Amino acid sequence: MKRYSNRLYEGLKRISLGSAALLVVFAAVPGTGWAEVPNAVAPKGAHAGDDVPQPIEFPHDVHAKINQINCMYCHTYARRSKVAGIPPTSKCMGCHTIIATDKERIKKLTEYWESNQSPPWKKVHDVPDYVHFTHEKHLDRFLFSNEGMDVERVSEVCAFCHGEVKEMTVAKKVKSLNMGFCRRCHEANDGPSDCWKCHK
């Protein structure tokens, strides 16, 4: 035990003051992965979901993190309906008729566009049919009606259920989205406990 304690102590001693300061910055700056949504408790729990192959390997990290495109720009229905929605190909082509046209992903997207087809995207975050979940109500509670929360930080709210998508290429299910997961979130955030709110 003593040898373990000494090794731990020596390892901790090696952490420089600069590294510690960097950790403090990451914890305090929104968008670094450690930011917190005000007036909310993020649901706990992780999930190792299956990789869902998509027709095009969509790089969420490039769009949401590097280019800082708001989640709701592409997923426009999230703020006003049950589903977030997959953007129409026309929205993608609004940029990609001129941006990154030499990339293989965009060439494939252009093929779909020119043949008047949408890429056959597959669902990643799905709940059973008997579960009534609405993005609109959750975004209203945690974003639009949440004092101190800016629309630019919507990805932090999305991360509650979808994980840090802006760190991913193709979206992967990293939260279980099962009843226990939802109940813990409702209990921590004073959400409804009436069965009929979520089960129709």
Tens digits of residue pLDDT in 4-40: 344 434 544 443 333 333 333 333 333 334 458 999 9
**43 is a domain residue:** no
Is 51 among the domain residues? Answer: no
Helix (H, G, I), strand (E, B) or coil at 92: helix
- This prediction's pTM: 0.79
Residue 180 forms part of a structural domain: yes
Q: Does residue 41 contact residue 188 with C-beta atoms inside 8 Å?
A: yes
Q: Does residue 119 sit within a domain? A: yes
Distances (CA, A) of 136 to 118, 177, 182: 25, 17, 16
pLDDT tens digits, one per residue of 34-63: 458 999 999 988 999 999 999 999 999 999
Give the pLDDT mean for 84-105: 96
What distance in Å separates the CA atoms of residue 196 and residue 200, rounded to the nearest whole number?
6
Domain extent for 95: 60-198
Give the number of C-alpha atoms closer than 13 A to the C-alpha of residue 68, restricted to the C-beta side.
6
47 lies in some domain: no
Instruction: Decide if 18 is inside a domain.
Output: no
- Domain tally for the chain? 1
The number of beta carbons lying within 10 Å of the beta carbon of residue 42 is: 16
**Is 55 contained in some domain?**
no
